[in-house]
Amino acid sequence: MSKDISRRQALALGLAGAGSLAVGVAGLGARGWPPSGTPSTNRTEGPSATWAEPAVLTSAQGVLDVELRLAPTQVQIGDQMATMLTYNGTVPGPTLHLRPGDLLRVHLVNDLDEATNLHTHGLLVSPAGNSDNPFVRVGPGESFDYAIELPDDHPQGIFWYHPHHHGLVADQVFAGLYGAIVVDDADWTASPPRVVVVSDTTISSGRVAQASGMDRMQGRTGRTVLTNGLISPALTAPEGSTQRLLVINACTSRYLDLEHVGHQLRLYGLDSGALSPPPTRTRVVLPPGGRADLGVEVPAGSTTLLAHAYDRGAAGMGMMGGGSLAGSDATILTLTTGGDQVSSAPSAARSAPTDLRDAEVTRSRTLTFSMGMGGMQGMQFLIDGQAFDPERVDQQVRLGTVEEWTIRNSTMMNHPFHLHVWPMQVVETSGARVDAVEVRDVVDVPPGGQTVVRVAFSRYAGSTVYHCHILDHEDLGMMGVIAAQ
């Protein structure tokens, strides 16, 4: 791994290292990806597509070496072809299967006509140098070598990767740039879990639609909901089996209010936090960027995993009219009986995270989401009255301490709060104390409300960011810099 670099150096950085390309055990060629420059397609056969998942790249002997190449690609969405942005020619990109203690080396090649970078969302890894550094800039036609080292005690769970270059995040994710990361000790050769990457987009005249100013202010919501790049795919499994669904909300703004219609969901974990024993739930809500490790029993006949419309506030924020941002229902997948796939539920419960409710709190802070007019730039989205500035440190924390943060929302819209590197334990939401140990890296903050979390800054010196995970709001300034030493 390279030495640490300053944020100013990182912002000017274009190319770092040569790097060699190797692929994991289930590498690129195993799924028939074409060589660079050859068009590829995602196939669906309409509203009832056959279930399919991204290629899985698995670490070997403690290392996963992979190239991720970003490029515009023709993909098939339902009954139409469209140009989207892809990692290695597919939407989503390949699933990265890692184990605690692994080294992930990514040779990121940017064949776009704009800058980008890579964020490994939820991984508990260093934010410095060529690790999970949101200040790196990879320009058009350039490449960058990431080396991301997972600690030996890294929690097992579901994570994901996507671009994080400020000002372009929402556009690039909405256009197709996202993929799953799974960290566990399991052997997937016999009964792998089902990776379920949920996203949304809007296709217009064969391309991803551009967002209007109002779309960005509200947080854009795509007209088409995709599951692993497909529309409402049908997953076939034996009656009575339990299928483990690793669900990622990769939407730019859409909340997923999930229900296995007529049946219960077994909840093994949320984000990087395991729940032990796993409870059963009728509904599970995932904000943008959130994940859930779910178990569903396959009943006779056909059932649906549905995302209900979720009211995330009022458009216009009381200043310019507008209505609810509830959206509409969407079918994530249908579950049908058949085949001989065995159950894919975890064979043993994962370790529960450390409970911080009795920890000594070194410092308390309050962060406030707000909005304001920005002159020629229109509406600004702010934290503590300030728009994002990469050269300003907003929060300075000390390693080895536990802090309590109150995140307040003075607007009329929900804002999901995401902190890089350090997971948060939710201790209070909407004025009610949380009895269970809920560890998240994205926590929802309701309109006019607040959420209280505790954070253990136990390791990793360096600078990173926290922000609203409605990605348009992040791009419009709702982000801050945190430095740990």
Q: Which tens digits make up the pLDDT trace of 403-443?
A: 999 999 999 999 999 999 999 999 999 889 998 899 999 99
Place of tokens 């999930």: 258
Task: Return d(Cα 202, Cα 205) in angstroms, integer.
Answer: 10
Q: Is the pLDDT of residue 20 over 70?
A: no
Mean confidence (pLDDT) of the chain: 87
Structure tokens at 203: 């296709």
The pLDDT tens digits for 371-391 are: 987 654 567 899 999 999 999
Task: Spell out the SS3 assignment of the chain.
Answer: CCCCCCHHHHHCCCCECCCCCCCCCCCHHHHCCCCCCCCCCCCCCCCCCECCCCCEEECECCEEEEEEEEEEEEEEECCEEEEEEEECCECCCCEEEECCCCEEEEEEEECCCCCECCEEECCCCCCCCCCCCCCCCECCCCEEEEEEECCCCCCCEEEEEECCCCCCHHHHHHCCCCEEEEECCCCCCCCCCEEEEEEEECEECCEECCCCHHHHHHCCCCCEEEECCECCCEEEECCCCEEEEEEEECCCCCCEEEEECCCCEEEEEECCEECCCCCEECCEEECCCCEEEEEEECCCCEEEEEEECCCCEECCCCCCCCCECCCCCEEEEEEEECCCCCCCCCCCCCCCCCCCCCCCCCEEEEEEEEEEECHHHCEEEEECCECCCCCCCCEEECCCEEEEEEEEECCCECEEEEECCCCEEEEEECCEEEEEEEEECEEEECCCCEEEEEEEECCCCEEEEEEECCHHHHHCCCEEEEEEC
Residue 279 φ then ψ, to 5°: -80, 165
Specify which of 226-240, 313-327, 342-356 reaches the highest per-range mean pLDDT: 226-240
Could you tell me if 85 and 172 are in contact, meaning their C-beta atoms sit under 8 angstroms apart?
Answer: yes
pLDDT band at 324 (very low <50, low <70, confident <90, very high): low
Question: For 197-337, which CATH superfamily applies?
Answer: Cupredoxins -  blue copper proteins (2.60.40.420)
Specify which of 33-47, 105-119, 265-279, 374-388 reaches the highest per-range mean pLDDT: 105-119
Task: Return d(Cα 313, Cα 296) in angstroms, integer.
Answer: 30
Q: Is the pLDDT of residue 348 over 60?
A: no
pLDDT band at 327 (very low <50, low <70, confident <90, very high): confident
* Mean pLDDT lowest among 11-15, 61-65, 121-125, 343-347: 11-15
Domain 7-186 has CATH 2.60.40.420: yes
Q: Of 53, 51, 55, 75, whose CA–CA distance to 64 is shortest?
A: 55
Q: Is the pLDDT of residue 90 over 60?
A: yes
Residue ranges of domains in the chain: 7-186, 197-337, 363-484
Q: Of 94, 104, 82, 92, whose CA–CA distance to 26 is shortest?
A: 94
pLDDT band at 189 (very low <50, low <70, confident <90, very high): confident
> Which class is domain 363-484?
mainly beta
Structure tokens at 105: 């080396």
Q: Is the pLDDT of residue 9 over 60?
A: no
Q: Is the pLDDT of residue 402 over 50?
A: yes
Mean pLDDT of 209-238: 95
Q: What is the pLDDT of residue 484?
A: 98
**7-186 matches 363-484 in fold:** yes
Task: Return d(Cα 125, Cα 154) in angstroms, integer.
Answer: 9
* Mean pLDDT lowest among 30-34, 162-166, 449-453: 30-34
pLDDT more than 70, % of the chain: 85
CA quadruple 172, 31, 160, 107: dihedral positive or negative? negative
pLDDT band at 349 (very low <50, low <70, confident <90, very high): low
The pLDDT tens digits for 274-314 are: 888 899 999 999 999 999 999 999 999 899 999 999 999 87
Could you tell me if 146 and 106 are in contact, meaning their C-beta atoms sit under 8 angstroms apart?
Answer: yes
Task: Return d(Cα 480, Cα 468) in angstroms, integer.
Answer: 10
Q: Is the pLDDT of residue 241 over 80?
A: yes
Specify the higher pLDDT residue, 9 or 462.
462
Q: What is the pLDDT of residue 24?
A: 29
Q: What is the pLDDT of residue 283?
A: 97
